[in-house]
Amino acid sequence: MNNLRNDVINYNNIFLRFLFAMKNKTYIRKKEMIVFFGAVLILLSLMGRLVYLMIFRAEYYQEKARTLHERERDIKAARGEILDCRGTVLAANRTVCTISVIHNQIEDAERVIQVLTAELGMEVEEVRKQVEKVSSIERIKTNVEKETGDKIRAYDLPGVKVDEDYKRYYPYNELASKVLGFTGGDNQGIIGLEVVYEEYLKGENGKILTMTDARGVELEGVAEDRIEPVAGENLQISLDYNIQSYAQQAAEKVMEEKQADKVAIILMNPQNGEVLAMVNVPEFNLNDPYTLSGSGEGITDEERQNRLNQMWRNGCINDTYEPGSTFKIITSSACLEEGVVKLSDTFSCPGYRVVEDRKIRCHKVGGHGGETFVEGIQNSCNPVFIDIGLRLGAERFYDYFEQFGLLGKTKIDLPGEAATIMHKKEDIGLVELATMTFGQSFQITPIQMATTVSSLVNGGTRVTPHFGVQVVDQEGKTIEKFKYSIQNEIVSKETSETMQQLLKSVVEDGSGINGYIEGYEIGGKTATSQTLPRSANKYISSFIGFAPADNPTVLGMCVIYNPQGIYYGGTIAAPVIRDIFENIFPYLGIEKQEGNTLPEEGEQQGNSE
């Protein structure tokens, strides 16, 4: 029995081991199948990815592979020229070179460093740092003179590249520097017309493409690919080289004679807003715009930049000033338009006018006595303008200020135009109104003053002052003509014609007599204003003149800042515009009229303002 039990137990153990083995074998087979099918899926996905990359993305990766072996260098586009109204080139281009090195192609680094240091006038360590830098291409210096570039090219140094491009060049150096502006190292506009018309002038850069091996060495026998640059379009402006030149000489002369801080002159066509000349002396050299006038030693970078900004500043549009008595043109126009004054109205000037608790003086201490409105404007009499301004009232005065366009900007095509600094309407009391009538207690820009006067004497059309006339291609064919907004009837034609005759009488019989030219009918107004603080005893002298008086085609304005000695606008500013007019009238086709002469000397009523 025992043996039988043992045999049964043994058979059971064997059977159990068999069942376990069978179960374990099935489990292993399942694992193998899972691994197998997993591997198959991975292989299928890899094959699918490979097919996708080789067929559907082949072009993309071919391009990537090509770019890994392609080196690119820019070719600067020739910037469009700036031409004056008669085609004289004011901003051109000069061929220069860019010197670069390709690290992997250099065979004799010391020789390269030696040559570049000597020819480029650079420090050895600066050149060494760039030559030894591991990069695809390293630019050593831009805007290198072509003669120097040709010398470096003649050394035939492996790894040294000399590419020709363009640098802005201004044939007349300081002429209209604060109008034209200049470009930076990247040939983009920095200030002036260069930045305003960047879109037209800049052009499109080209490229030089070369192929290299895996080490970055250019492949021999493989031709360079070139994408040629597209030159910028030419800009023709209203500025006239001859008029600008003469106006600039006149400004420099009076600045030296009167030891003034600066002088601004604007000449424009009052009928359409075209600016013929804009002078801001001292000007700066456009071909060397980063060299300060005077000593720049011992100043911080911030101080240097501030001085550069001041040197580049266009005072005709960026700076405001109290216009003084030239503003009486605006006051007269508003009061005539409103009907609060007639030419025959009479006034009394004892040398001052008391407004509330303020005694406001006339420039003639003893007073002008009894006078008509016509005589009041000829004499530039402050009490007369205080009286008519008070008749008009603060609210209507402010409304005309707005109607004439004085509260906004002129929208001239130059950057950084300043806005008028003016009282709020509710803050204009009787004293403020009284001083505003003769151009004090607020500030405007010279271009705003010239534009507003133009609009009041041209028949009443508010014009937009501008330089840009048209864009032309390299053959001179017009691509685009610029259009500018106008505002009709800011005053009636009758008021405008009256102002023409009044201002003509100011030049022939009044304070503007030093602006008179025999044979020509000229209208104008003088001004002498005191800067803030009044205790500094600094003055701004100015004169605005236009001709022919009854149909003006040119308006000139001269502003002299802080002249020494005699500072009356009628004495020092009017002769500047007179001399300019005398020289440019024949040039502009303004003809002399016989019989237009001054009254006898004893009948002249001019005064010093």
Active site residues: 325
Q: Cα angle vertex 299, ends 294, 305, to 5°?
A: 80
Helices (H), ranges, 473-573: 493-509, 569-572
CA–CA distance from 409 to each of 209, 250, 439, 487 (Å)?
48, 28, 18, 14
DSSP string computed for 116-180: HHHHHT--HHHHHHHHSS-SS-EEEEEEEEHHHHHHHHHT--TTEEEEEEEEEE-TTTTTTHHHH
**What pairing do the DSSP bridges indicate for beta strands 234-237 and 82-83?**
parallel
Q: Which residues contact 55 (CB under 8 A, 6 or more apart)?
A: none
Q: Is the peptide bond before 282 cis (omega within 30 degrees of 0)?
A: yes
Helix (H, G, I), strand (E, B) or coil at 279: strand
Helix (H, G, I), strand (E, B) or coil at 530: strand
Structure-block tokens of residue 263: 């002088």
**DSSP label at 438?**
T
The answer to whether the CB of 513 falls within 8 A of the CB of 525 is no
Query: How far apart (Å, rounded) are the C-alpha atoms in residues 162 and 72?
Result: 14
Q: Which amino acid is at 344?
A: S
Query: How far apart (Å, rounded) are the C-alpha atoms in residues 515 and 505?
Result: 11
**What pairing do the DSSP bridges indicate for beta strands 262-268 and 234-237?**
unpaired
Query: How far apart (Å, rounded) are the C-alpha atoms in residues 388 and 383?
Result: 9
Query: How far apart (Å, rounded) are the C-alpha atoms in residues 430 and 386?
Result: 10
Q: Which residues contact 407 (CB under 8 A, 6 or more apart)?
A: 401, 420, 422
Query: How far apart (Å, rounded) are the C-alpha atoms in residues 271 and 451?
Result: 10
Q: Which residues contact 425 (CB under 8 A, 6 or more apart)?
A: 394, 395, 398
